[in-house]
């Protein structure tokens, strides 16, 4: 679905995307790589425990959600499937800090014994096929617990077709945390807590984007995580993206003024989600809500393995220069 403030909704296929690229466009994707972040084990009492790693803090330390009949206390040792142990060393809000023996690299254990953390609305167990399917073709930097799902639509021929139209393809990294699935449960949006996510933007990407913005060329984000990376950097640096690594907990909702992104390629998102609020802020609330009703009528598939839309920014949401 193509959603543009200057024209009626159009129904296209993803294979048509390159035909909508203009020479000089900059197309940016998130090259984070998903790892099997869901682990199972037991407490010393024998009670079952499920761990969803939210952040790799070091080789042998993680921050995680822990699901158990009774939460483990500080100092508790958890025996994990695969024969390794994790100790609960503290809390970070509703998250648990877990640590392995220094000789045990938790990522290695997860890659061997962990499970792909499919979104909670997929009501089945993960399979070996998900390890490949829930991953973009350009995934490189390991650290995400959820895929940048807009990128799942991209394959190598499509990317080459985008470049052939005269666009520059570039990549950033934002390690998506499990908090991306958290629904908004507050009436006052300022009270919603976003978990921070680590990102990295290279000097080359900053130069490419700054040149495009200065020359009035479009910057197209492949997915909301790419947008959060670039807009998060800009919001923290006076409206200009900066190279380097940092953390962002940006919450984009209606009323936000965009600094970087002109066009967004994304999936259709869950009701009451921060992602739906983001696309509503970008494309205009009324326009996006009408488009979603059109998508329902036309039988579009929603969520991670669903269909896509291409949204041009509502001019009223541009940052005043």
Q: Domain 2-34+131-317: which topology?
A: QueA-like (3.40.1780)
Contacts of 234 (CB under 8 A, 6+ apart): 240, 241, 259, 260
* Domain ranges, ordered by start, for the chain: 2-34+131-317, 38-114
Over residues 10-35, mean pLDDT: 97
Q: What CA–CA distance (Å, rounded) separates 52 from 116? A: 10
Q: What is the pLDDT of residues 288-302, one digit of tens each?
A: 999 999 999 999 999
CB 66 within 8 A of CB 50: yes
Q: What is the pLDDT of residues 204-246, one digit of tens each?
A: 999 999 999 999 999 999 999 999 999 999 999 999 999 999 9
C-alpha distance from residue 86 to each of 39, 72, 114 (Å): 11, 11, 14
Q: What is the pLDDT of residues 101-158, one digit of tens each?
A: 999 999 999 999 999 988 777 888 888 888 888 999 999 999 998 899 999 999 999 9
23, with CB counted inside 10 A (0-12, 13-18, 19+), is: exposed
Q: What CA–CA distance (Å, rounded) separates 310 from 313? A: 10
Q: Domain 38-114: which topology?
A: Thrombin, subunit H (2.40.10)
Over residues 273-283, mean pLDDT: 91
């Amino acid at each position: 679905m193509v959603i543009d403030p200057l024209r009626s909704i159009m129904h296209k296929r993803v294979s048509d995307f390159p035909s909508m690229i203009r020479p000089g466009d900059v197309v940016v994707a998130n090259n984070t790589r998903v790892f099997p972040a869901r682990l199972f084990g037991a407490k010393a009492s024998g009670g079952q425990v499920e761990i969803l790693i939210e952040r790799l803090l070091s080789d042998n330390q993680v921050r995680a959600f822990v699901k158990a009949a009774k939460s483990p206390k500080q100092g508790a040792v958890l025996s994990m499937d695969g024969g390794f142990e994790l100790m609960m060393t503290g809390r970070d809000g509703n998250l648990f800090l877990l640590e392995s023996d220094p000789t045990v690299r938790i990522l290695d254990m997860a890659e061997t014994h962990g499970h792909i953390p499919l979104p909670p609305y997929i009501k089945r167990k993960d399979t070996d096929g998900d390890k490949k399917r829930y991953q973009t073709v350009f995934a490189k930097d390991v650290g995400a617990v959820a895929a940048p799902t807009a990128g799942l639509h991209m394959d190598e021929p499509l990317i080459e077709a985008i470049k052939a139209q005269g666009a520059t393809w570039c990549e950033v990294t934002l390690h998506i945390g499990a908090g991306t699935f958290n629904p908004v449960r507050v009436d006052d949006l300022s009270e919603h807590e976003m978990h921070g996510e680590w990102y990295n933007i290279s000097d080359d990407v900053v130069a490419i984007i700054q040149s495009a913005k200065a020359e009035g060329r479009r910057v197209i984000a492949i997915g909301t995580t790419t947008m959060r990376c670039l807009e998060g950097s800009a919001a923290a640096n006076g409206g200009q993206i900066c190279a380097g690594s940092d953390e962002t907990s940006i919450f984009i909702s209606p009323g936000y003024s965009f600094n970087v992104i002109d066009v967004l390629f994304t999936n259709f998102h869950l009701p009451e989600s921060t992602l739906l609020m983001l696309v509503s802020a970008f494309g205009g609330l009324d326009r996006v809500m009408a488009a979603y009703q059109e998508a329902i009528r036309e039988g579009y598939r929603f969520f991670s393995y669903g269909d896509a839309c291409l949204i041009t920014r509502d001019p009223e949401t541009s940052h005043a220069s």
